[in-house]
Amino acid sequence: DVKVTQSSRYLVKRTGEKVFLECVQDMDHENMFWYRQDPGLGLRLIYFSYDVKMKEKGDIPEGYSVSREKKERFSLILESASTNQTSMYLCASSPTSGGLRSYNEQFFGPGTRLTVL
Amino acid sequence: GQSLEQPSEVTAVEGAIVQINCTYQTSGFYGLSWYQQHDGGAPTFLSYNALDGLEETGRFSSFLSRSDSYGYLLLQELQMKDSASYFCAVRSDRGSTLGRLYFGRGTQLTVWP
C-alpha cells in the first residue's frame, strides 16, 4: 500500500513562530504536493515538486516555502506563522510513470491541522 | 486560468442514485478525476476519465464529455457510508505544471436513512 505520512496530526503554534510540516512517502513517487484545505474553498495548492531540489509555486505560495532534499521527503515551512495560516494542511504524492492514470491519482497523507494563535 | 464548478451540497436517501456534476475551464486538458473525502479523513482517488464516455467501478461511475467540458460522478445504491465530500479535478500539462491537478471546491453529499 502507498503510504504518505505527515509529522503531526495536530499542531498549535504562536504568531511569528517558524513552523515545519514534514511529509514522507514510501512509494518512490517523483511528484509531491502541499495543499491547504479550508471550508468551502476546497483544496488549494501551495507548492509542488516533481524532483529532488525542484519546486514549483502553486496557487497560494505567499508566506510559505518548501524543501525537498530527498525524494521521499517534502517539507513545508511557514517562515513566520500568522493567524490566517490556521488551516488543514495536506501532503500528497503521485508517480510519473504508470500511464495516464498515474498523474491523476494522488495519494494523500492524513493531514496536519495547524492552529496559529 | 483554470476553473471548476460543482454543486456545494447534494442530499439523497439510502438506495437512491445521485449524480454530481462538474464543469471545467482549463487551458489544457488531460483528464478528469474524482476524489472522495470523509469528514476528518484524507481525500482518496475514486476514478479517472481521459476519453469521452462512462467508466464504471462498482456502484460508482464517472462520465466525461470533452466537447462540453463536463463530467459527472454517478453513485448508485447509495449507502450511509457514501456521505462525504466529493471533488472533481482536472490535470493540466501546461509547461512546468506537469502533473498538477486543479480541484473543484467539493460537493458535500449527505445520505439519509
**DSSP result, A53-93:** T--EE-S--TTEEEEEEETTEEEEEESS--GGG-EEEEEEE
HSE-up of B12 (CA within 13 Å, CB side)?
A: 22
pLDDT tens track of chain B, all 113 residues? 688 999 999 999 999 999 999 999 988 788 899 999 999 999 999 999 989 999 998 999 999 999 999 999 999 999 999 999 999 999 876 555 567 899 999 999 999 99
Phi, psi torsion values for B79, nearest 5 degrees: -125, 160
Q: Per-residue pLDDT averaged across A57-73, rounded? A: 96
pLDDT, tens only, A95-112: 877 676 777 889 999 999
Residues of chain A with Cβ-Cβ distance to B106 below 8 Å are: 42-43
Surface-to-core class of residue B21, CB atoms within 10 Å of its CB (0-12 exposed, 13-18 middle, 19+ buried): middle
A3: closest CA of chain B, how far (Å) = 12
Three-state DSSP class for residue A26: coil
A41: closest CA of chain B, how far (Å) = 5
CB within 8 Å: B99 and A103: yes
All three cell numbers of A90, joined, read 495536506
Residues of chain A with Cβ-Cβ distance to B8 below 8 Å are: 40
A108 forms beta bridges with A92
- Would you place residue A2 in the very low, low, confident or very high pLDDT band (cuts 50, 70, 90)? low
Mutation target among B45, B91, B108 for the A interface, most CBs of A within 10 A: B45
Q: Per-residue pLDDT averaged across A11-36, rounded? A: 96
All three cell numbers of A53, joined, read 531540489
What chain A residue is nearest to B31 in terms of C-alpha separation?
A: A104
| C-alpha–C-alpha distance, residues A92 and A5, integer Å | 9
Surface-to-core class of residue B67, CB atoms within 10 Å of its CB (0-12 exposed, 13-18 middle, 19+ buried): exposed
Instruction: Name the B residues in 72-111 with CB < 8 Å from any A CB.
Output: 87, 89, 91, 96-101, 103-106
Residues of chain A with Cβ-Cβ distance to B92 below 8 Å are: none
Phi, psi torsion values for B72, nearest 5 degrees: -150, 155
Numbers of helices and strands, H then E, in chain A: 1, 11
B51 in contact with A, Cβ within 8 Å = no
